Amino acid sequence: MYKIIKKRFLNENTFEMVIEAKRVSKNCLPGQFIILKIDEEGERIPLTIADYDREKGTITIVVQVIGASTTKLSHLEEGEFIQDFVGPIGMPSELTKEKIEDLKNKKILFVGGGVGVAPVYPQAKWLHNNGVDCDVIIGARSKDIIIYEEEMKKVCKNLYITTDDGSYIRKGMVTNVIEDLYKEGKKYDLCIAIGPLIMMKFVCKLTKTLNLKTIVSMNPLMVDGTGMCGCCRINVGDEVKFACVDGPEFDGHKIDFDNVMKRAQIYKTEEGRAMLKLKEGKTHHGGCGVCGGEK
């Protein structure tokens, strides 16, 4: 059992929980995720790690209420328990694999859309703690759903916020901010974009014209979290990958987002899942990548 240490709502439909999970906090790195189950009959919910504290033995998750399971989770309070909390799962951010001195010589831009801001935060914080500067763009439909503004200000050099409806700071898409920054003479060596698929699609479309390497997180596709359901199967260039096993981060310029979004829609129905399984055959499942059961 895993105790809920702290809970707060970030906006009407999004909440943050700090969970006591010592083993996970001891071993996780930015970019990885966990899978939780509220109780024995609960649904498996994969969630990206939004923060961690190794000394306190805690993991922070940010959850958007979109269905029965997340609604049930939102009703739990501080002091109550979650039955299963498994992790860390997935591959860490590629930033953690680079030499700090090399990162200090790079200009890094993060783009977070909606709840995608939450998984951006631990990466920006990790860079900050290692003495590496970065810029961050936060995009949201309106002011009332912006999350982690104050937290992000503490870990990035420059924070740019934009809203679709113009209700806060500026009006426009995150791509408009990127274009404006380049017009001002800014240049970046790496962009990391996390958010809705449609947002990442247009960020990648723009950064490709700017010759700006872009990494995206495909965590919005994850359902099972171990590769067994086949939902997060994607083509990265000529290779078949699974967001939960091989990712969740990939080279955004190698992903056909139109195909990914179409596949995600098909997967929502039982008939669609059966059709994809028939069409994709042995490549439909990715396996957990650990036990060898996929071979």
- Burial level of 176, CB count in 10 A (0-12/13-18/19+)? middle
Q: Over the stretch 57-70, which tens digit does the pLDDT of each residue have?
A: 999 999 988 888 88
Kind of pairing, strands 14-20 and 239-242?
unpaired
CATH for the 100-217 domain, from 3.90.1150.10, 2.130.10.10, 3.40.640.10, 3.40.50.80: 3.40.50.80
Look over the chain and give the mean of its residue pLDDT values, rounded to a whole number: 84
* Owner of token pair 């501080």: 78
Rg (Cα) of the chain, in Å, rounded?
19
In Å, how far from its chain's centre is CA 214? 14
Residue 269: predicted pLDDT: 47
Residue 39: predicted pLDDT: 86
Confidence band for 46, pLDDT divided at 50, 70 and 90: confident
Confidence band for 278, pLDDT divided at 50, 70 and 90: very low
The crossing angle, in degrees rounded to 10, of helices 197-209 and 257-267 is 170
Residue 256: predicted pLDDT: 83
In 3D, which of 94, 4, 7, 89 has the Cα closest to residue 47?
89
pTM of whole model > 0.75?
A: yes
Q: Over the stretch 214-231, which tens digit does the pLDDT of each residue have?
A: 999 887 665 555 555 556
Rounded to whole angstroms, the Cα distance separating 113 from 116 reads 5
Between CA 253 and CA 87, with CA 192 as vertex, the angle to 5 degrees is 110
Domain ranges of the chain: 2-87, 100-217, 219-286
Rounded to whole angstroms, the Cα distance separating 207 from 191 reads 8
Q: Which residue has the higher pLDDT, 270 or 177?
A: 177
Bridge partners, residue 81, by sequence:
3
In Å, how far from its chain's centre is CA 25? 17
Q: How many CB atoms neighbour CB 21 within 10 A? A: 25
Average of per-residue pLDDT across 52-57: 95
Residue 267: predicted pLDDT: 45
Say which DSSP state 185 is in. T
Q: Over the stretch 196-207, which tens digit does the pLDDT of each residue have?
A: 888 989 999 999
| Sheet arrangement for strand 214-217 | 158-163, 135-140, 108-113, 190-194, 214-217, 249-251
Quick one: CATH architecture of 2-87? Beta Barrel (2.40)
Taking 90 as the threshold, does the pLDDT of residue 161 lie above it?
Answer: yes
Taking 70 as the threshold, does the pLDDT of residue 30 lie above it?
Answer: yes
Q: Over the stretch 90-137, which tens digit does the pLDDT of each residue have?
A: 888 989 989 999 999 999 999 999 889 999 999 999 999 999 999 999
